[in-house]
Amino acid sequence: MSEIIQKLRTTQNLSDEELKLILTTDSYDEELTQNADAVRREHYGTDVYLRGLIEFTNYCKNDCLYCGIRKSNQNLSRYRLTEQDILECCKEGYALGFRTFVLQGGEDMYYTDERICNIISEIHKNYPDCAITLSIGEKSYDSYLAYFKAGAERYLLRHETANTEHYSKLHPAKMSCEHRKKCLFNLKKIGYQVGAGMMVSSPFQTLDNIIEDLRFLQELQPQMIGIGPFLSHQDTPFKNKPNGELKPVLKLLGILRLMFPKVLLPATTALGTLHPLGRELGLKTGANVIMPNLSPICVRKKYMLYDNKICTGDESAQCRQCTEQRAKSIGYQVVMSRGDAKDFEKR
Ligand code: 5AD
Ligand code: FES
Protein backbone atom coordinates (compact mmCIF):
# COMPACT_ATOMS: atom_id res chain seq x y z
CA MET A 1 0.00 0.00 0.00
CA SER A 2 1.26 3.48 -0.70
CA GLU A 3 2.53 5.30 2.33
CA ILE A 4 0.13 8.17 2.07
CA ILE A 5 -3.06 6.08 2.04
CA GLN A 6 -1.65 3.94 4.85
CA LYS A 7 -0.96 7.07 6.86
CA LEU A 8 -4.44 8.44 6.28
CA ARG A 9 -5.98 5.14 7.35
CA THR A 10 -3.91 4.68 10.49
CA THR A 11 -3.73 8.28 11.73
CA GLN A 12 -7.04 9.51 10.27
CA ASN A 13 -5.20 12.62 9.24
CA LEU A 14 -2.80 14.09 6.72
CA SER A 15 -1.17 17.43 6.03
CA ASP A 16 -2.86 19.84 3.65
CA GLU A 17 -0.23 19.04 1.04
CA GLU A 18 -0.77 15.32 1.34
CA LEU A 19 -4.55 15.70 1.06
CA LYS A 20 -4.12 17.83 -2.03
CA LEU A 21 -1.87 15.19 -3.52
CA ILE A 22 -4.55 12.51 -3.12
CA LEU A 23 -7.20 14.85 -4.50
CA THR A 24 -5.17 15.62 -7.60
CA THR A 25 -3.49 12.28 -8.33
CA ASP A 26 -5.54 9.56 -9.97
CA SER A 27 -3.11 6.74 -9.24
CA TYR A 28 -4.28 6.60 -5.60
CA ASP A 29 -7.92 6.07 -6.52
CA GLU A 30 -8.07 2.30 -6.48
CA GLU A 31 -6.27 2.03 -3.16
CA LEU A 32 -8.40 4.76 -1.69
CA THR A 33 -11.57 2.92 -2.68
CA GLN A 34 -10.31 -0.40 -1.33
CA ASN A 35 -9.26 1.06 1.99
CA ALA A 36 -12.43 3.10 2.39
CA ASP A 37 -14.49 -0.04 1.80
CA ALA A 38 -12.35 -2.03 4.25
CA VAL A 39 -12.81 0.58 6.98
CA ARG A 40 -16.53 0.82 6.32
CA ARG A 41 -16.76 -2.99 6.65
CA GLU A 42 -14.81 -2.90 9.94
CA HIS A 43 -17.46 -0.68 11.51
CA TYR A 44 -20.64 -1.22 9.55
CA GLY A 45 -20.15 -4.49 7.69
CA THR A 46 -22.10 -4.48 4.46
CA ASP A 47 -25.10 -2.70 5.99
CA VAL A 48 -26.72 0.20 4.22
CA TYR A 49 -29.02 2.33 6.38
CA LEU A 50 -32.13 3.85 4.86
CA ARG A 51 -33.75 7.18 5.73
CA GLY A 52 -37.17 8.10 4.44
CA LEU A 53 -37.04 11.63 3.08
CA ILE A 54 -40.18 13.76 3.35
CA GLU A 55 -39.84 17.05 1.46
CA PHE A 56 -42.64 18.90 3.19
CA THR A 57 -42.35 22.45 1.85
CA ASN A 58 -40.63 24.11 -1.09
CA TYR A 59 -41.26 27.63 0.18
CA CYS A 60 -38.00 29.27 1.21
CA LYS A 61 -37.12 32.71 2.50
CA ASN A 62 -33.54 32.31 1.34
CA ASP A 63 -32.06 32.94 -2.04
CA CYS A 64 -29.02 30.67 -2.30
CA LEU A 65 -27.62 31.18 -5.77
CA TYR A 66 -27.38 27.46 -6.58
CA CYS A 67 -30.72 26.25 -5.31
CA GLY A 68 -33.82 25.62 -7.41
CA ILE A 69 -36.27 26.43 -4.61
CA ARG A 70 -34.69 29.83 -3.90
CA LYS A 71 -37.11 32.65 -3.13
CA SER A 72 -36.52 34.44 -6.44
CA ASN A 73 -37.47 31.47 -8.57
CA GLN A 74 -40.87 32.51 -9.95
CA ASN A 75 -41.12 29.50 -12.28
CA LEU A 76 -41.95 27.16 -9.49
CA SER A 77 -45.28 26.20 -8.06
CA ARG A 78 -44.97 26.19 -4.30
CA TYR A 79 -46.49 23.65 -1.93
CA ARG A 80 -46.78 22.87 1.74
CA LEU A 81 -47.75 19.54 3.25
CA THR A 82 -50.19 19.55 6.16
CA GLU A 83 -49.49 17.69 9.36
CA GLN A 84 -51.96 15.10 8.10
CA ASP A 85 -50.06 14.72 4.79
CA ILE A 86 -46.79 14.28 6.65
CA LEU A 87 -48.27 11.65 8.94
CA GLU A 88 -49.58 9.81 5.87
CA CYS A 89 -46.03 9.72 4.46
CA CYS A 90 -44.78 8.33 7.77
CA LYS A 91 -47.52 5.70 7.76
CA GLU A 92 -46.57 4.56 4.29
CA GLY A 93 -42.88 4.72 5.16
CA TYR A 94 -43.34 2.75 8.36
CA ALA A 95 -45.17 0.00 6.46
CA LEU A 96 -42.27 -0.11 4.02
CA GLY A 97 -39.90 -0.65 6.94
CA PHE A 98 -38.42 2.81 7.44
CA ARG A 99 -37.37 3.62 11.00
CA THR A 100 -35.96 7.07 10.30
CA PHE A 101 -37.96 9.96 8.89
CA VAL A 102 -36.19 13.02 7.58
CA LEU A 103 -38.35 16.13 7.44
CA GLN A 104 -36.72 18.43 4.93
CA GLY A 105 -37.90 21.76 3.63
CA GLY A 106 -36.96 25.27 2.65
CA GLU A 107 -36.79 27.89 5.39
CA ASP A 108 -40.53 28.44 5.47
CA MET A 109 -41.83 30.79 8.15
CA TYR A 110 -45.32 29.29 7.88
CA TYR A 111 -43.98 26.43 9.96
CA THR A 112 -43.63 28.20 13.27
CA ASP A 113 -41.83 26.45 16.11
CA GLU A 114 -45.22 25.50 17.46
CA ARG A 115 -46.24 23.82 14.21
CA ILE A 116 -42.91 22.04 13.85
CA CYS A 117 -43.06 20.84 17.46
CA ASN A 118 -46.60 19.56 16.95
CA ILE A 119 -45.57 17.62 13.87
CA ILE A 120 -42.58 16.13 15.69
CA SER A 121 -44.67 15.19 18.75
CA GLU A 122 -47.29 13.50 16.59
CA ILE A 123 -44.72 11.45 14.69
CA HIS A 124 -42.98 10.62 17.95
CA LYS A 125 -46.23 9.52 19.55
CA ASN A 126 -47.29 7.35 16.60
CA TYR A 127 -43.86 5.88 15.85
CA PRO A 128 -41.89 5.80 19.09
CA ASP A 129 -39.39 3.35 17.61
CA CYS A 130 -38.40 5.75 14.83
CA ALA A 131 -35.76 8.45 14.72
CA ILE A 132 -36.89 11.89 13.59
CA THR A 133 -34.41 13.97 11.63
CA LEU A 134 -34.96 17.62 10.78
CA SER A 135 -33.44 19.47 7.84
CA ILE A 136 -35.07 22.89 7.94
CA GLY A 137 -32.15 25.26 7.97
CA GLU A 138 -30.84 27.93 10.31
CA LYS A 139 -32.86 28.55 13.47
CA SER A 140 -32.19 30.04 16.90
CA TYR A 141 -30.70 28.00 19.74
CA ASP A 142 -34.08 28.06 21.48
CA SER A 143 -35.91 26.77 18.43
CA TYR A 144 -33.45 23.91 18.03
CA LEU A 145 -33.87 23.15 21.73
CA ALA A 146 -37.67 23.13 21.43
CA TYR A 147 -37.56 20.68 18.49
CA PHE A 148 -35.17 18.45 20.43
CA LYS A 149 -37.45 18.41 23.44
CA ALA A 150 -40.40 17.57 21.18
CA GLY A 151 -38.54 14.44 20.03
CA ALA A 152 -36.26 15.31 17.10
CA GLU A 153 -32.91 13.63 17.63
CA ARG A 154 -31.00 14.37 14.47
CA TYR A 155 -30.44 17.46 12.36
CA LEU A 156 -28.99 17.86 8.88
CA LEU A 157 -27.54 21.24 7.98
CA ARG A 158 -24.86 21.20 5.34
CA HIS A 159 -22.30 23.92 5.84
CA GLU A 160 -21.96 24.00 1.99
CA THR A 161 -18.47 25.52 2.20
CA ALA A 162 -16.37 26.35 5.24
CA ASN A 163 -14.61 29.29 3.58
CA THR A 164 -16.18 32.66 4.30
CA GLU A 165 -15.28 34.23 1.00
CA HIS A 166 -16.48 31.23 -0.99
CA TYR A 167 -19.65 31.10 1.09
CA SER A 168 -20.42 34.70 0.14
CA LYS A 169 -20.18 33.83 -3.55
CA LEU A 170 -22.81 31.13 -3.18
CA HIS A 171 -25.22 32.98 -0.92
CA PRO A 172 -26.82 36.42 -0.69
CA ALA A 173 -25.24 38.91 1.72
CA LYS A 174 -27.92 38.22 4.33
CA MET A 175 -26.53 34.77 4.96
CA SER A 176 -23.18 34.11 6.58
CA CYS A 177 -20.76 31.27 6.96
CA GLU A 178 -20.24 32.21 10.61
CA HIS A 179 -23.91 31.91 11.41
CA ARG A 180 -24.14 28.59 9.61
CA LYS A 181 -21.25 27.22 11.65
CA LYS A 182 -22.68 28.65 14.85
CA CYS A 183 -25.95 26.79 14.16
CA LEU A 184 -24.04 23.53 13.72
CA PHE A 185 -22.20 23.96 17.01
CA ASN A 186 -25.47 24.85 18.75
CA LEU A 187 -27.08 21.68 17.41
CA LYS A 188 -24.19 19.61 18.73
CA LYS A 189 -24.33 21.32 22.09
CA ILE A 190 -28.02 20.52 22.47
CA GLY A 191 -27.29 16.86 21.85
CA TYR A 192 -28.46 16.23 18.30
CA GLN A 193 -26.77 13.73 16.02
CA VAL A 194 -25.61 16.29 13.50
CA GLY A 195 -25.08 16.06 9.75
CA ALA A 196 -22.94 18.65 7.97
CA GLY A 197 -21.46 18.56 4.48
CA MET A 198 -20.53 20.46 1.37
CA MET A 199 -21.30 20.63 -2.30
CA VAL A 200 -18.43 19.37 -4.38
CA SER A 201 -17.35 21.41 -7.44
CA SER A 202 -19.69 24.25 -6.61
CA PRO A 203 -18.93 27.43 -8.57
CA PHE A 204 -15.68 29.14 -7.49
CA GLN A 205 -14.63 26.23 -5.26
CA THR A 206 -10.86 25.79 -5.00
CA LEU A 207 -8.74 22.92 -3.74
CA ASP A 208 -7.93 25.02 -0.68
CA ASN A 209 -11.65 25.42 0.01
CA ILE A 210 -12.02 21.63 0.10
CA ILE A 211 -9.13 21.34 2.55
CA GLU A 212 -10.87 23.95 4.71
CA ASP A 213 -14.05 21.89 4.55
CA LEU A 214 -12.16 18.85 5.81
CA ARG A 215 -10.56 20.87 8.64
CA PHE A 216 -13.93 22.29 9.62
CA LEU A 217 -15.42 18.81 9.72
CA GLN A 218 -12.53 17.67 11.93
CA GLU A 219 -13.37 20.47 14.32
CA LEU A 220 -17.12 19.87 14.30
CA GLN A 221 -16.98 16.07 14.40
CA PRO A 222 -20.47 15.53 12.97
CA GLN A 223 -22.18 12.13 13.06
CA MET A 224 -23.08 12.40 9.38
CA ILE A 225 -21.43 14.04 6.39
CA GLY A 226 -23.53 14.58 3.28
CA ILE A 227 -21.69 15.49 0.10
CA GLY A 228 -22.78 15.57 -3.49
CA PRO A 229 -21.82 17.23 -6.75
CA PHE A 230 -23.05 20.70 -7.59
CA LEU A 231 -25.67 20.37 -10.34
CA SER A 232 -27.00 23.41 -12.11
CA HIS A 233 -30.63 24.46 -12.08
CA GLN A 234 -32.03 26.33 -15.06
CA ASP A 235 -33.86 28.96 -13.01
CA THR A 236 -30.94 30.08 -10.88
CA PRO A 237 -28.07 32.54 -11.42
CA PHE A 238 -25.79 29.49 -11.70
CA LYS A 239 -27.68 28.00 -14.64
CA ASN A 240 -24.62 28.16 -16.88
CA LYS A 241 -22.13 26.84 -14.35
CA PRO A 242 -20.78 23.38 -15.14
CA ASN A 243 -22.03 20.38 -13.19
CA GLY A 244 -19.65 18.65 -10.83
CA GLU A 245 -18.02 15.39 -11.84
CA LEU A 246 -18.07 11.93 -10.39
CA LYS A 247 -14.38 11.57 -9.59
CA PRO A 248 -13.95 14.35 -7.01
CA VAL A 249 -17.05 13.25 -5.11
CA LEU A 250 -15.84 9.65 -4.94
CA LYS A 251 -12.36 10.75 -3.89
CA LEU A 252 -13.83 12.82 -1.10
CA LEU A 253 -16.09 10.01 0.06
CA GLY A 254 -13.03 7.78 0.31
CA ILE A 255 -11.03 10.39 2.18
CA LEU A 256 -13.96 11.08 4.54
CA ARG A 257 -14.37 7.38 5.34
CA LEU A 258 -10.68 7.15 6.27
CA MET A 259 -10.67 10.41 8.23
CA PHE A 260 -13.94 9.66 10.04
CA PRO A 261 -14.10 5.85 10.23
CA LYS A 262 -17.47 5.69 12.02
CA VAL A 263 -19.28 8.58 10.37
CA LEU A 264 -22.53 8.05 8.47
CA LEU A 265 -21.95 8.83 4.82
CA PRO A 266 -24.87 8.99 2.43
CA ALA A 267 -24.64 8.09 -1.24
CA THR A 268 -26.70 11.13 -2.17
CA THR A 269 -29.48 11.72 -4.66
CA ALA A 270 -27.29 14.29 -6.41
CA LEU A 271 -24.64 11.60 -6.91
CA GLY A 272 -27.32 9.31 -8.36
CA THR A 273 -28.49 12.12 -10.63
CA LEU A 274 -25.00 12.79 -11.92
CA HIS A 275 -24.40 9.17 -12.97
CA PRO A 276 -26.79 6.22 -13.29
CA LEU A 277 -24.59 4.17 -10.96
CA GLY A 278 -23.43 7.09 -8.84
CA ARG A 279 -24.93 5.80 -5.61
CA GLU A 280 -23.53 2.31 -6.12
CA LEU A 281 -20.09 3.77 -6.73
CA GLY A 282 -20.54 5.89 -3.60
CA LEU A 283 -21.40 2.83 -1.53
CA LYS A 284 -18.31 1.06 -2.82
CA THR A 285 -16.19 4.02 -1.75
CA GLY A 286 -17.22 4.17 1.89
CA ALA A 287 -20.80 5.47 1.83
CA ASN A 288 -23.29 3.56 3.99
CA VAL A 289 -26.58 5.47 3.90
CA ILE A 290 -29.24 6.05 1.23
CA MET A 291 -32.18 8.40 1.61
CA PRO A 292 -35.08 7.24 -0.57
CA ASN A 293 -37.88 9.67 -1.23
CA LEU A 294 -41.12 9.33 0.74
CA SER A 295 -42.72 12.57 -0.43
CA PRO A 296 -46.14 12.32 -2.07
CA ILE A 297 -45.75 11.82 -5.82
CA CYS A 298 -47.73 14.97 -6.60
CA VAL A 299 -45.13 17.27 -5.03
CA ARG A 300 -41.91 15.57 -6.03
CA LYS A 301 -41.29 17.47 -9.23
CA LYS A 302 -41.69 20.67 -7.27
CA TYR A 303 -38.80 19.93 -4.94
CA MET A 304 -36.21 20.44 -7.67
CA LEU A 305 -33.04 21.64 -6.04
CA TYR A 306 -31.22 21.02 -9.36
CA ASP A 307 -32.21 19.92 -12.87
CA ASN A 308 -33.05 16.29 -13.69
CA LYS A 309 -33.30 15.14 -10.09
CA ILE A 310 -33.97 11.39 -9.95
CA CYS A 311 -36.84 9.64 -8.18
CA THR A 312 -39.36 12.37 -8.92
CA GLY A 313 -41.72 10.04 -10.78
CA ASP A 314 -41.47 6.99 -8.60
CA GLU A 315 -43.74 5.79 -5.81
CA SER A 316 -42.21 5.47 -2.36
CA ALA A 317 -42.48 1.70 -2.61
CA GLN A 318 -40.56 1.80 -5.90
CA CYS A 319 -37.73 3.85 -4.39
CA ARG A 320 -37.62 1.47 -1.45
CA GLN A 321 -37.37 -1.53 -3.79
CA CYS A 322 -34.95 0.14 -6.12
CA THR A 323 -32.61 1.05 -3.29
CA GLU A 324 -32.63 -2.50 -2.00
CA GLN A 325 -31.84 -3.86 -5.46
CA ARG A 326 -29.02 -1.42 -5.99
CA ALA A 327 -27.38 -2.27 -2.68
CA LYS A 328 -27.75 -5.98 -3.33
CA SER A 329 -26.31 -5.74 -6.83
CA ILE A 330 -22.94 -4.74 -5.38
CA GLY A 331 -22.87 -7.05 -2.38
CA TYR A 332 -24.36 -4.89 0.37
CA GLN A 333 -27.76 -5.09 2.00
CA VAL A 334 -30.18 -2.51 3.30
CA VAL A 335 -31.08 -2.82 6.96
CA MET A 336 -34.20 -1.26 8.37
CA SER A 337 -32.98 -0.38 11.86
CA ARG A 338 -32.80 3.23 13.04
CA GLY A 339 -29.14 3.20 12.08
CA ASP A 340 -27.68 5.48 14.71
CA ALA A 341 -24.08 6.61 14.34
CA LYS A 342 -21.72 4.13 16.01
CA ASP A 343 -19.83 6.74 17.97
CA PHE A 344 -22.82 8.57 19.33
CA GLU A 345 -23.17 8.50 23.10
CA LYS A 346 -26.77 9.01 24.13
CA ARG A 347 -27.10 11.42 27.02
N1 5AD B 1 -26.70 21.11 -6.71
C2 5AD B 1 -26.33 20.21 -5.80
N3 5AD B 1 -26.78 20.21 -4.53
C4 5AD B 1 -27.64 21.17 -4.18
N5 5AD B 1 -28.24 21.44 -3.02
C6 5AD B 1 -29.03 22.52 -3.18
N7 5AD B 1 -28.95 22.96 -4.44
C8 5AD B 1 -28.09 22.14 -5.08
C9 5AD B 1 -27.57 22.10 -6.40
N10 5AD B 1 -27.93 22.99 -7.33
C11 5AD B 1 -27.95 20.69 -1.80
C12 5AD B 1 -27.39 21.63 -0.73
C13 5AD B 1 -28.42 21.52 0.37
C14 5AD B 1 -29.06 20.18 0.11
C15 5AD B 1 -30.41 20.01 0.69
O16 5AD B 1 -29.12 20.09 -1.28
O17 5AD B 1 -26.13 21.15 -0.29
O18 5AD B 1 -27.86 21.60 1.66
FE1 FES C 1 -36.05 6.20 -6.27
FE2 FES C 1 -34.43 4.33 -7.48
S3 FES C 1 -34.30 5.18 -5.48
S4 FES C 1 -36.37 5.15 -8.17
Could you identify the atom of ligand 2 that is nearest to the CA of residue 326? 2
319 lines ligand 2 (CB under 6 A): yes
Give CA–CA dist 208/330, Å, rounded.
34
| Ligand 2 pocket, residue 322 CB under 6 Å | yes
**What's the pLDDT score for residue 346?**
58
How far, in Å, from the CA of 305 to the mean position of ligand 1? 6
With left for phi above 0 and alpha for psi between -120 and 50, is residue 127 left, alpha or beta?
A: beta
Measured torsion, CA atoms of residues 11, 282, 343, 47, in degrees rounded to the nearest 10: -120
CB 247 within 8 A of CB 24: no
The best mutation among 53, 67, 159, 202 to test binding of ligand 1, ranked by most ligand atoms within 8 Å of the C-beta, falls on: 67
137 Cα to the center of ligand 1, angstroms = 12
Pocket of ligand 1 (CB under 6 A): 66-67, 158, 160, 199, 228, 230-231, 233, 270, 305-306
What is the number of other CB atoms lying within 10 angstroms of the CB of residue 110?
9
CA of 167 to the centre of ligand 1 (A): 13
Average pLDDT of every residue of the chain: 97
| Residue 318 beta carbon below 6 angstroms from any ligand 2 atom | yes
CB atoms within 10 A of CB 60: 22
Atom 1 of ligand 2, nearest CA residue: 319
Q: Count CB atoms within 10 A of the CB of residue 147.
A: 25
Give the C-alpha distances (Å, rounded to integers) separating 322 from 80, 200, 279, 297, 329.
27, 25, 12, 16, 10
Q: What is the distance in A from the centroid of ligand 2 to the CA of 323?
A: 6
End-to-end, the C-alpha distance of the chain in Å comes to 40
In the predicted model, residues of the chain with pLDDT beneath 50 are 347
Residue 238's pLDDT is 98
Tell which atom from ligand 1 comes closest to the C-alpha of 306: 10
Distance (Å, whole) CA 287 – CA 279: 9
Tell me if the pTM is above 0.95.
Answer: yes
Q: What is the pLDDT of residue 279?
A: 98
Q: How far apart are CA 2 and CA 10, in angstroms?
A: 12
